[in-house]
Structures are given as structure tokens and as C-alpha cells.
Chains A and B, each alone.
Chain A
Amino acid sequence: MTNITKFALFVPIALLAGCGHSGPSYRVYISNESSGDLTIIDPVRMEATGTVPIGKRARGIHPSVDGKLIYIALSGSPLAPPGVDESTLPPPDKSADGIGVYDIAQNKLLRKIPGGSDPEQFAVGRDGTLYISNEDAAGVSFVDPVKGEVLHTIATGEEPEGVTVTPDGKLIYATSEDAGTVTVIDIATAKALKTIKVGRRPRNVTFLPDGSRAFVSNENDGTLSVIDTSTQEAIHTISLGEGQKPMGQAMSRDGSRLYVTTGRGKQVFILEPSTEKILASFEVGQRPWGIALSPDEKLLFTANGPSNDVSIVDVATHAVIKKVKAGNRPWGVLVLGQ
């Protein structure tokens, strides 16, 4: 190879290297319920950069305390709607139930730890303990993810769903779909303290950053219940209007905005928690459930189950900038820094 040829090759390679962006400061992770995998989205290129098999019926998704691992709720009780000939499918596999532990650096599933029967939603405590709602068992299980042991199971109302730890890390608020209640559990004593009546089919709880208020999305009422955490009483109800099915929630870091997905309502609502007023609502996609904000809070990501995609929304203009193809039936959204 002559020197001229070497130079001719070197120049475009150097240019290409220089053109490349330095990579995003965060990634978006999507749990896909039907395909049982994790879609990893680069928010700068606004495209999926990888898909990692995780396990059956991947739903709830949260990071470990050190941000190195991602936990994903898995269930061996898959979906088969009417019209599907179940006899052609393998039988349900309860041994597939658990919490998948995904290592971000290694980009692979490390192991599966027990999570009780059919886990769907969970929260991660400050010491790393997982608090998992077990619908069949009408309780919340405390799980040590290192030992892989269920430490306690606390009774809640029938069919517990959303589980959230208070910002001070001391209490758990667990919704009961069936009873229309929120059970407050003390982490230190592993005891249920109080049951608070909210709306019908409560799905999720989100707190103001100072922990003074909790917002509960009531799917069947199309409302949010506001709980005063000092008295542990539901004090107000915010209506989102006819046809709205509030599901997932994301709170801004300063507590000035609460973003709520509305499932079959197709929309995201923006609320101002201080006034409890609806500031805006806009359509984002088919049946959005999971929702998360980018670290700079300029973008919003929603998992749209039936259309198998993730909407990327410009928070300032409320415009859907792009819909990124995910796996089958995307469920949860996690935004995590590199």
C-alpha cells in the first residue's frame, strides 16, 4: 500500500470518528409484556439500540439502589385472549414467576430471584429491599434481592397493584384494585398501619418530593385521589374526565408537574400538584401505561401496549416527536443515567 493510499483511507476514517456523538447520558429501558424482553432506547438517536431477552411477561421495572442493575417483574402466567387456541400453547409455568436481575454493564440477565406468585409491580427500598405486590396472595412481599429470599408478606386489600415507597424511605403505599384502597405499611416493623379508601381500581401512587401528598390514579373512576400523608386521609379527588383511565404517573423533581397516562384514553395529562389543576392533556399513542421523564425533564416517554411502540414527547410543546418500535406489548418505562 502506497503512502497516498494509506492517507486516502485515513482521512474518511478520522472524519467519521470525529463526527460521532459522544453518546447519550442516559438510556430508556422498556419492559415488553408479550415478547418477554427489554428494549433499550438511545434517546439522542431516538431509536432502539438493543433487545435483551428477560423472561416471561415482563412488566414492573426499577433500578437497584446503585443503578447498576435493573429489576424486572416476570410471570409465568401468560396472556391468551379469547380467540387464541390455548391448547396449541405450552402450559403456564409458575416456575417462571420472579424478579429478573439484569446487569447493565454486562447487558444480560444475571438471574431470577423469588418474587411471590405472579409479580407485577414493585418498589425498591433505600436498603435495596424489594417490595412486591402479589395479586393472588393479597399481600406485599419483602424480598432480599441479594439472598433471593422472601422476608415477609404483609396482607393488603384484595389484588394489590401499585407499590411505592415514601420519599423518606419509611413507609410503603400499596393500592388494592379490588377494594379501592391504599394500605400504608411500616417498613421497619413490617406491619400494615392503615387502609385508606380511594377510588375504583387504584393503580399507582406517586408522592410529592417532600412526601406531603400522595396521588393515586383510579382507573375506573377516571380520577386521582389526593392523600394528605400527615393524616393518611384522602382529602381531594381530581377528575380527568369521561373516558380517561389514569394509570402510570411521573412527577417532576421539583414537584411542580405530575404527568399521568390514561390507558384507553390515549392521553397524557399534566397536573399542577400545588393547585390540583389540570394544565394540559394531549394524545400520545395507543393505551399508554408506563411513563417516565428524561433527566433534564425535556422529554417524556410512554409505553404504548397495543401499538408496540414508545412515544417520545417534547414536554414544552406536547408534541410526539417520534414513536420508537419496541417489543410486543411494551409495559414499563425506566430512564436511567449511564
Chain B
Amino acid sequence: MRRLFLFAAVLAAAACNSAKPPEKKAAAVEPPKPVEYFHVDPATAGTIHGRITYTGAKPERKVIDMDSDAACQKAHAGHPVYDESLVTGKSGGLANAFVYIQSGLEGKKFEPAEGSVVLNQHGCMFQPRVFGIRAGQTMAVRNSDTVSHNIHPKPTNNYDWNQQQSPGAPDLEHRFPRADVMIPVKCNVHSWMRAFIGVVDHPYFAVTGLDGSFQLKNVPPGDYTLAVWQEKLGEQKQTVHLAPSGTAAVNFTYP
């Protein structure tokens, strides 16, 4: 009997050994490859420029009702504050339109943007109302008011958040890692406060002023879709061919 046990034990040990997987050699850890950024050749880069105009009836300027917060009213010393959702300048120039290259830059990774973009809360209004920022770039949210705000971006392609910010509190810093055009921003305390952020993964964007004009410089030659977005009027787009060292004019008209 004892011999039988011994034989079985030896057999089991042999079986166990044979079932052992062969020892794996430790895989060599490869260092992460450095990101290869696309560099624009200044010898061939060109410019896309144009103008956004509004030909509809000039909108009546509505006064924002800040009655619910005396401190907000006081910040404007009794002066009326007008709604900025559709602002036009001379000759029908459309302000606060966000213009950007929507397609044609695929596969090109641009160097990250340095510095931060400030979104200020001043007089219970966001300043600026419309702005562009690079994906991954820092946005610094500032409260210059004597009242608390609660900033609340509502992204589509990034994460939702809202954060209360007291007067005098340090800037809130945030980065949107993914392109997202446009992210509406509101204040959960003051319902009239609105801003819009265009997050893009390249440096070719602009926000129009009162004359409605824009200019995108240092653009590599190519075929692009250029898009313009306005909060009340929506999006329009056009294709554009930019020849080496060329200049291309693209105009948009609303409605």
C-alpha cells in the first residue's frame, strides 16, 4: 500500500510539473514614442479670411432683467445691460460668430497651446461671451463680482460639471480634452448669463467682432471645410481650397 501511495505521489508531481507553463521572458518595456507634431511650413502657408454678415431685420435690443439680484444691478450703476445673443455692427457685420476649420486637418497633430484663456464673470455677465480654446488648453474661470456664481458648462463631447465660485475665490482651472463645438455655459444662479466655448484640436479658429470679419493665418495649403456658428442663427459651412502661399476669401451671409 505504501508503495502505491509513493508511486501516485510521484506521478502527480510529474503531472504538475509537466502542466507548468514555460517561463515567459520579461518583455522589454519600450519607452513611449514621442508625439510627432505637425509643423506648418511658413514657405507654403496661406491665409483664409472673410466676413460674416447678417441681412435680416436688426434685432431689437432687449434689456436684461437683473431685478432678482441687487448686487448685479448695482454693478451696472443703473445702466441697462442688453442681451448679446445677436449683435450686429455697421454694414451688417455679425459679431460673436465662431469660425473654424471643421475638416481637412485630419491626421495632423498640432503642438499644445500654451497659456490659459480667461472666462471672467463681471457685472453678472460672462466675458467674453463667445471664445475659442484648444483641446487640452487651460481655461481659467474668474469671478470679479461681489456675488457668488455657479458656472455650469454643458458639453456634448466632454464631461458635465458645475462649480460654485464665491467672490474673491481663486480662478477655477479646467481643461476640455476633446474637440467640442460649441459648449454652452450658464450660471446656475443667474439665468441670463450665457457664454459659448468652441473647443478645437488645432489653432485655426476666430471669433468675429462688430465688423464681422475674420482671418486665419499660417494655414497649410489644402482643401478644407470652413464652418461658422452663431448662437441664434446656427451653423453654415463652405469648402475652400487654399493654394500654397495663397489667400482664400470666404464670406457667409445669414439668414
Contacts and interface: CB of A to CB of B under 8 A. Distances in A.
B36 interface: no
Contacts of B156: 77, 92, 94
Contact of A136 (B154, B158, B163): B154
A86 B159 contact: yes
B229 interface: no
Contacts of B155: 77, 92
Contacts of A82: 141, 161, 163, 172-174
Contacts of B176: 86
Interface in B177-224: 177-178, 186, 188-189, 191
16 contacts: A77-B155, A81-B161, A81-B162, A82-B163, A82-B172, A87-B175, A87-B177, A91-B178, A94-B156, A135-B154, A136-B154, A177-B191, A178-B186, A220-B68, A220-B189, A221-B68
A94 B154 CA distance: 13
B254 to A, nearest CB: 21
A79 B160 contact: yes
B69 to A, nearest CB: 9
Contact of A91 (B157, B175, B189, B191): B157
Nearest to A90: B159
B161 A80 contact: yes
Interface of A: 77-82, 84-87, 89, 91-92, 94, 135-136, 177-180, 200-201, 220-221
Contacts of A200: 68, 191
Contacts of B159: 77-80, 84, 86, 89, 92
B160 A178 contact: no
Contacts of A79: 159-161
B218 to A, nearest CB: 26
A230 B174 CA distance: 48
Given A89-B159, A92-B155, A177-B191, 20 more contacts: A79-B161, A80-B161, A81-B161, A81-B163, A82-B141, A82-B174, A84-B159, A86-B159, A87-B177, A91-B157, A91-B178, A92-B157, A92-B159, A92-B160, A135-B154, A136-B154, A178-B186, A178-B191, A179-B191, A220-B68
Contacts of B128: none
Nearest to A78: B159
Interface SS majority for chain A: loop
A87 B136 contact: yes
A33 to B, nearest CB: 11
Contacts of B177: 86-87
B141 to A, nearest CB: 8
Contacts of A85: 175
B207 to A, nearest CB: 23
B173 A80 contact: no
A47 B162 CA distance: 32
Contacts of B162: 81
Contacts of A221: 68
B163 A201 contact: no
Contacts of B173: 82
Nearest to B160: A77
Contacts of B154: 135-136
B154 to A, nearest CB: 7
Given A200-B68, A220-B189, A80 B175 contact: no
Contacts of B175: 85-87
Nearest to B68: A200
A180 B191 contact: yes
Nearest to A94: B156
Residue from the set B68, B161, B163, B188 with the largest chain A CB neighbour count within 10 Å: B161
Nearest to A180: B191
A84 B188 CA distance: 20
A78 B159 CA distance: 6
Given A86-B175, A200-B68, A78 B160 contact: yes
A180 B190 CA distance: 11
B191 A201 contact: yes
A77 B188 CA distance: 18
A218 B5 CA distance: 82
B211 to A, nearest CB: 30
A201 B178 CA distance: 30
Nearest to B191: A178
Pick from A80, A82, A91, A92 the residue with the most CB of B within 10 Å: A82
Contacts of B141: 82
Nearest to B164: A264
A81 B172 CA distance: 10
Interface string B116-137: 0000000000000000000010
B136 to A, nearest CB: 7
